[in-house]
Amino acid sequence: MTNASPSDGSLTDDTHLGRVALRVGSLDRVVPFYRDVVGLEAERERDGSRAVLSAGETPVVVLDEDPDAPERGRREAGLFHLAVRVPDRGALGDVLSRARTRATDAGATLSGASDHLVSEALYFRDPEGNGVEVYYDRPREEWPWTDDRRVSMDTLALDLGSLADDAAGGDRAPDGTDLGHVHLEVTNVPRSRDFYVDALGMRVRDEGYPSASFVAAGEYHHHVGLNSWNTRSAPAGEGRGIEWFEVVVPDAATLDAVRESLVDGGHEFDEGGFGGDEPGDGDAAGAAGATDSLVISDPDGIEIRVVHGR
CB burial string 253-266: b at 16+ within 10 A, e below = ebbebbbebbeeee
Range of the domain at 49: 6-308
For residue 291, the model assigns a pLDDT of 53
Gyration radius of the chain's alpha carbons: 18
Q: Is residue 265 part of a domain?
A: yes
Task: Give me the pLDDT at residue 272, please.
Answer: 78
The CATH number of residue 27's host domain is 3.10.180.10
Residue 255 domain-assigned? yes
Q: Which of 213, 212, 215 is nearest to 223 (CA)?
A: 215
Give the β-pairing of 58-65 and 50-55.
antiparallel
**pTM score, two decimals?**
0.92
1 within domain boundaries: no
In one-letter notation, the amino acid at residue 219 is E
Overall domain count for the chain: 1
The per-residue pLDDT for 1 is: 40
User: What pLDDT is attached to residue 292?
Assistant: 86
DSSP labels, 105-162: TTT-EEEEEEE-SSEEEEEEE-TT--EEEEEEEPPGGGS-B-TTS-B----EE--HHH
Residues in the chain, pLDDT under 50: 1-7, 9, 274-290
Kindly state whether residue 86 falls inside one of the protein's structural domains: yes
Is 143 a member of any domain? yes
pLDDT for 226 equals: 99
Establish if 225 belongs to a structural domain.
Answer: yes
Pairing relationship of beta strands 109-115 and 224-227 according to DSSP bridges: unpaired
The dihedral sign for the CA sequence 191, 192, 195, 196 = negative
3-state SS, residue 225: strand
The tens digit of pLDDT for each residue in 54-87 reads: 999 999 999 999 999 999 999 999 999 999 999 9
Pairing relation of β-strands 303-308 and 241-249?
Answer: parallel
DSSP secondary structure letters along 47-106: GGTEEEEEETTEEEEEEEE-TTPPPPPTTB-EEEEEEEEPSSHHHHHHHHHHHHHHTTTT
Residue 179 forms part of a structural domain: yes
